[in-house]
Structure 1
Amino acid sequence: YSPCLDYHIKNCSGACIGKQSHEEYMKNIEQAREILKGNTREVQKMLFEEMQKLAEELRFEEAEEIKRKYILLDNFCSKSEVVSHTINDVDVFTVTDDENIAFVNYIHVTNGNINQAFTFEFKKKLHENEDEILPVAIMQIREKLGSKSKEIIVAHDIELPLDGITLTIPQRGDKKKLLELSEMNGKQYRFDRLKQAEKLNPEQKAVRLMKEIQEALKLPKMPYQIECFDNSNISGTDAVAACVVFKKMKPSKKDYRKYNIKTVVGPDDYASMKEVVRRRYSRLIEEEQPLPDLIITDGGKGQMEVVREVIEDELHIDIPIAGLAKDDRHRTNELLYGFPPKVIGMKTDSELFRLLTHIQDEVHRFAITFHRDKRSKHALHSELDDIKGIGPKTKEALMKAFKTVKKMRESDVESLAEVVGRQKAELLREYFDSKKQ
């Protein structure tokens, strides 16, 4: 044989050309096998003893090479060890429960290293609890993986038909850390499976979120249809409101509604909300349309109360009302429900809370867009739009020639006629003269 590049760059001892004995080669293979099993401390001990022996024999160069390997392995151990290396040959089991499936996570620890980690699914047949599932799961998993560990770490005491086994229920320390890691693995596996199932069946995600809202607010039924309201105005001018509708947790844009505020003068958000809610549900009742399962107000206790006054006191209908309140930085941070309203405990980074804030953002966007369009139309309104017989093309020609309405008002019929003709010029002159009078 001719030695390959690995030999020349010191990655191989050259066994193929007789530079390494068979015994030495097999010793290296055995060390590699032990490292892969997780028995790194055993290999370290062997290397240390060999290094000491070579040093006693004054074979310092060879001892230095062994020392280099020892340091590399020590660095590897410090990064890969999860807990103390004194925890050796231990099994860890935890259960993450679901309605129909129990997810049992298994971790095997050798010399502080996790060298096996699996999550197994066990289908429930008779709605068994954790205490009934875990002993059976431990027996099956240990038999399947061939585990002979004498210590098993679990979260609580169970009856296990195994002799010579120590059950450990840690309260603190490294073993407690392993138990928490196993629980986290099981929850993550369950979450990943749920996400995978929801990708294949989007309806499943919608039903899950509706159930979460129902449980959080103690609703009588799942909120299939959710409606949210918001007002928009600038100092009371161009006051508008909007209603967005979500069905099965998705926006139903054909059911969105815009409202021009008719009965309220000035910037009064509560009165505007009352008017819009009254108009919305009076019409649904009159047309015998289905009512929503939940109303969400873009605001706190005040907005919830005015909606309740219309829904319950005036219209005498029963629709649950929730509110999304903002903090001092104008960020949504609380979900309110009930009368008097109470804060519903929900993490602001949870999927459900993000969905509720998405509904709030959507109604805010819809109301602002409508308000902006209405304001733009007023801003673009010209006095010429009020003159009967003057259309868009005529208006464009006049603005191009005179630049402003003021100059048109000061011009005589002949000057106007040069641009739009005699008949329309007389219409303009007549309008401007009537305005003077």
Structure 2
Amino acid sequence: MTTAAAFDPDPILKTLPTGPGVYRMFGADGTVIYVGKARNLKRRVSSYFRKGAHNAKTQALVGQVADLQVTVTHTEAEALILENNLIKEHRPRYNVLLRDDKTYPYIHLSTQQDFPRLSFHRGQRRGEGRYFGPFPSAGAVRETLNHLQRVFPVRQCRDSYYRHRSRPCLQHQIGRCTAPCVGLINQQDYARDVRHVEMFLSGQSNEVIDELVGRMEAAAESLDFETAARLRDRITSLRRIQERQYVSGARGDVDVLACRIREQTACVQVFVIRDGQNLGNRSYFPKAPPETTPEEVLGAFIARHYLGQETPGELLVSHELPDSELLEEALGNDAGHRVRISARLRGERRRWMTLAERNAEHALSARMSNEQAMERRFEDLQAALDLETIPDRIECFDISHTRGEATVASCVVFGREGPIKEDYRRFNIDGITGGDDYAAMRQALERRYRRLKEEAGELPDLLLIDGGAGQLAQAEGILEDLQIEGVTAVGIAKGPRRRPGEEVLMIAGRDGTIRLPPESPALHVLQQARDEAHRFAITGHRSRRGKSRQASTLEEIPGLGPKRRQALMKQFGGLKGMKRAGVEDLVRVNGVSKALAERIHAHLNG
């Protein structure tokens, strides 16, 4: 292949057809550096090599071209689809690239079973049952599943777990499942809950509420107040979900897309609205060459993001797209229904776009402040661990104790912006054999994720456990018991010489171990989370151990009960203050007699 400097385009340009097609530009090393489509190949490709004003991006591109090839298509819409496929295959440096172009996640209901299951699903929708979505992120799916489980106790456990139960699981104990696995509900009543789930996910939540209200009133009239109260709580929870998800004026399926570019960083904010419900939003940061306009980013993003995926009936965009008619035709042919792209918005739709634009600005500001280095680490982490998507949230657990005394577990949280300290948590571990790290880890994980399930809290994408296979097994068991899906559990253990950089990684559900190079950015972010969890656990352990030892010393004094011990600690601020106090000072504390004061003074001062 010739070099870029010696490339003469004239022989190729003379033979180009005037019909639609796709052109590929190659660099000197033979790699594809740009893919484009054209209504008229001859006119479009020739324009690159005319002398005249080109922007810096085009000048840089043309200066790198060493060869070009074209593919003729029947229509321009066909050219757009081929262009999209080639860009995904070759990822040319001068095209707008979508870094995270995984498929949208869905909720799957296995309606073919006697006792159907609700579950997280990503990928091809080939299995039996119904699929609801798409949702903008795995977090939005998990949040919706958690809400549904609080209102409609339909099982979410895996079939293998369900088939081998001999007694109800934790979900039944906290009122999130009716335990069909052990026959605590008949098929007819269970089917009613399943029907309500289908109605709610299909946008018929008002009809569900009306039915529940009717049942509640009938139960109250028959003096079955326990059932009436339970239905009342369901109705209240369902209305709260409606308030959070309902979008005023929304009809049908709509996506709202706003683009903002600042300092060569592009952000596309996508709000997903289905059947009048806001299923959430997500920020995308396409890789775009310098001087790319918002219109170019949006047009490329829509083609990369929607072709081959489920597309709603209407896309609302923040900028007029020059190829909107072509995109509508290609998306419509691909989706099997009409797709409209609208940029001139009024009234309520203008307010939706304003919200999306505001979120895009906020996402850009947050990303550009201090996130760039961490973002690269998270991208490397996705590749190193072969994750489906770049993780947005990591939670790391560690255990600290002194020979089994005052055991404390820590949970630290990291996002792409770094540590999220307001979400850190500590757990005082009790009721286990001292030094049993497996039991301590299991208790901490159960308390953490049971509460998140009950309160509809945000779950992590990656669960990092400081420890080996035993600790990781505890995490797998808790995630299974609580029916949490979409969370990847990873164990990080020190190497044989216990030196930084020699850590061994184990991923739940996969065989073997992973060792990353010491200079790996992915390893650095895991080490940072692990070390922060270790620090946080040690701090909590030392504090608890100090209080425990102070309390145990006072417990040895006859006649000094819990209330008097607490009063003394508050009065003197700890054992040091009590040691400095005289008998007369101790007597001033309510409930402490002179004889007791003398015993306290003698005990503390030997």
With the shorter chain as reference, the TM-score category is 0.3 to 0.5
Larger relative contact order, structure 1 or 2 (CA cutoff 8 Å, min sep 6): 2
Give the TM-score taking structure 1 as reference length: 0.48
Structure label with greater radius of gyration: 1
